A and B are shown apart, each in its own frame.
Chain A
Amino acid sequence: MIDENAAVATGEAADVPASGAPLSEPEVVLRTFGLVRAFDAVRAVNGVDLELRRGEVYGFLGRNGAGKTTTLRMLMGILRPDSGEIELMGERVRRVRAAQKRRLGYVSQEQVFYPWMTAKQLGEFVAGFYADWDAAHFTRLLRVLDVPVERKSAQLSGGTRMKLGLALALAHRPPLLILDEPTAGLDPVARREFLDILREQVRSEGQTALFSSHLVGEVEEVAHRIGILHEGRLRYQGSLERLRQSVRRVRLEEPGPESAPPGLELVRKERANEGRRAWVYSGAPESWDTSPFPREAIEALSLEDIFLAYARRSDEA
C-alpha cells in the first residue's frame, strides 16, 4: 500500500483539495490499526490502517464488496473487529462504545427509519440519545435540505430520506461524520444537491467526514484525501494529486520488463493491444524521474483509470 501520510503531514502532498480548502488542522481525528473482520471464511476487511485529520473530507473508494461498509460499521461500533484497534479522538479501543458514538454522525447507505415517524418525530427520538442535540440546528437543516417536517418517512423519496439521514447525523454537531455511500441510488440532481450540502456543512462547521463511494467522480469532487480499498485491503491512502503523480501507465513492446524497476510497484498488467502491452506502476513521483522506461512510453492516468487499475481483480494484475 502506498501511504503518503508523511507527505501530507509536511504539506508536501501538493495539498490542493478539490474544495480548495487548505488542511489547516493536522490533528488526527480517527486512526485505525490493522482492522480485520471476517465473515465465516471470508476476510471482508484485512488489516486496514486509516487516518483522518480534522477538517478533511476523506474519500473512501472501493468496488461493491470491497469492505467499505464493514469498515465503517466497525468505526460506528456496530461491528466488532476480529483484531485491530480504533483510535477515535485520542481514545484507543477495540470496539467503539456508545459514549464515543455520541461524537459521531452516521449516514448509512440504507436509511431504514420508522415508517410511521415524521422527520420531526425522528428528530425528537434521536435527540434523546445526544446531550448536545441542537433542535434549532436540526430544524434549520431540514429547511435547508428541503425535507418536509410533517411527512412520514415512509412517504419520502430515497433522496429526501438520505437528506433526512444527513440532518439527523449533523444535528448534534459531531466532530466526525461517517457517510456510507450516501449517494447510492440517488438521481444525478439529488446527488449533486447532497454533495453541495455536505461540502458546505463540512466547510462551515469544520467537521471531518469519511465519505465512502464507488463513484470516482464524486469523490474527486469533494475529497481532500482518499483511500482505495480492494478486497479488504487498503491499496492507497493519500492526496489525490499525489496519487495522480504516483501512478502511471507504461506502454511497451512485448514481452516487457520481467519485474518492476526499483522504486516502482506493479499495480496491474493490462491486455496486449497491437503488439504492445501496458503496465500500470505506482511509486513516489521522484521514482518516475529515474525509471528505466522511455518518457514517451509513460502516460498520466485519470483518477478513474487509477481506481480501475487498483480495483480490478488481482488475477489480471
Chain B
Amino acid sequence: MIEIKDLHKSYKMGSNSLHVLKGINFSVEEGELVAIMGSSGSGKSTLLNILGMLDEANSGEYTLDGVPIKDLNETKAAKYRNKFLGFVFQSFNLINYKNAMENVALPLYYQKMGRKERQEKALKYLGQVGLTEWATHLPNELSGGQKQRVAIARAMAAEPKVLLADEPTGALDSKTSYEVMDLIQKINDQGNTILVVTHEEDIAHMCKRIVHLKDGIIVKDEKVKQVRASEYV
C-alpha cells in the first residue's frame, strides 16, 4: 500500500538547515495498523505529513497504492488527499461553525457528491462512531472524545486507502483515549490501513506493528501482539 525509499527532508532555519528525515525506508501492507513512535523531534510528524501530502520530501521515492507521488502541484495534491487519505489530528480540526454531520460531509463535498447522498453517508459514518444523536450539534457542544470521533468519521467518510492519525489521543484523558483507540481498532478490523503517530507506549501497543524513529532514522521496526483497547473500556 505504502512504499517509501530513501526519503530525506530538511528544513531551512535561517542560514542553518535542519535535517529531519535522514533516509527512511519503509513499507506498509494493506490492512496494517502501524504505530510510529519517537520522542519529539524524532521526525515522526514530518514523516506523517509527507505521507499525507501535506508536506513534500526533498528526495526519495513515495508510492501510494501503486501511484508514484511526486511533482505534485496543489490541485493534484488536493485531489490525491481527497481520494487516498483520511486525516485525524491531535487538535481535531473540526470546522467550528459546521455541525457534526456537516463536518463529516465536507470531504464528500469536495468529491462532488450530491447533497442528499452526502448527508446520508455522513449520518451512516456518524452512526458507526456512535454519534447519530449528536449529528446537529456544533463542535463546541461536544466533548473532546466526541470531537475526535467526529474527526474519525469525517476521515472515514471519504473511504480513503489510508487513515493517518497524528497523535489522535494526545489531547484526551486515558479513558477517552482507549475509546478512540477501540474505534480505530474496529476500523482496522474492517480491513482499513491505518498509521498512528504517538509517543505513548500503551497506545502504540494497541497497534499491530511499531516503527521507532530516532533522529530521523528508523531504529526499530517490529510486529507486536495487539492489545485490545476494549479490555480497558
Q: Does A pair with B?
A: no
Q: Which residues of B come within 8 Å of A, CB atoms?
A: none
